[in-house]
Structure 1
């Protein structure tokens, strides 16, 4: 099992994984989005490989804080292929995320996970995550 930084050639499989996560049609813009993530200094896109096949990914954003001593790392997207769940890939990706977050001065990780994702909630709790409500969202006019 290998955890590595994503490359642009990983974009098609990331689009497939996003579809499994409930975000269909990402292939229309995935090359642009992966390139954007790879070139941004405050993001990190990691993939998990087994036998040279990408089976999962995690997308991290490092956010400096103004009022707190430590910064935080946000997990924006995280998916393990449906046929590879239970193999420990998710745990390995989270371990690498923690290492990267600590190296960048973060003292916590956060993830927003929709209430319908019950199995994901159980997984995060098993990894030591705690619920921290409330999350508010406003869609901007004219955005997709």
Structure 2
């Protein structure tokens, strides 16, 4: 498995992963969104590849806080294709988030996850991987 920063050519390969994330969309709409995101310097997206196939991604942004001085990272999207779950890919993507946060002088990582039935497995993953 290889984790690396997303490049523009990856955008056309994300439709299936967006469906797994629970946000089905067209390839064109996904491209429009990600082209915007790739141009924001405080946003970063990493992809996970297995045998040259994109099997997951994590998207985050560096933000300022009202209640403390240091910047923090907010995870905005995290998904692993269902055929590749339980293989530490999600955990490795989150470790990549931690590394990126440290390199960007961020002291906290936060995320939101929908309060829906299909998110129960995701919530369990987050709780299992909290230090």
State which structure, 1 or 2, has the greater radius of gyration over its C-alpha atoms. Answer: 1
How much is the aligned-residue C-alpha RMSD, in angstroms? 1.3
- TM-score for both structures, normalised by structure 2: 0.92
Contact conserved, 1:18 with 1:26, CA < 8 A, in 2? no
Counterpart in 1 of 2:13? 13
**Residues 1:75 and 2:75 aligned together:** yes
Structure 1 stretches of 4+ with a deviation exceeding 6 A read: none
Matches of residues 98-117 of structure 1 in structure 2 within 5 Å?
98-116=98-116, 117=119
Q: How many residues align?
A: 129
Higher relative contact order (CA 8 A, sep 6+): 2
Larger helix proportion of the pair: 2
Separation in 1, partners of 2:18, 2:24: 7
Please give the secondary structure, in 2, of the residue aligned with 1:3.
strand
Asked if the contact 1:19–1:26 (Cα under 8 Å) also holds between the matched residues in 2, the reply is no
Structure 1 unmatched runs, 5+: 130-144
Alignment-derived partner of residue 128 in structure 1? 130
Describe how 1:34-113 pairs up with structure 2 within 5 A.
Answer: 34-113=34-113
Which runs of no fewer than 5 residues in structure 2 stay unpaired? none
Give the alignment's TM-score, normalised by structure 1.
0.84
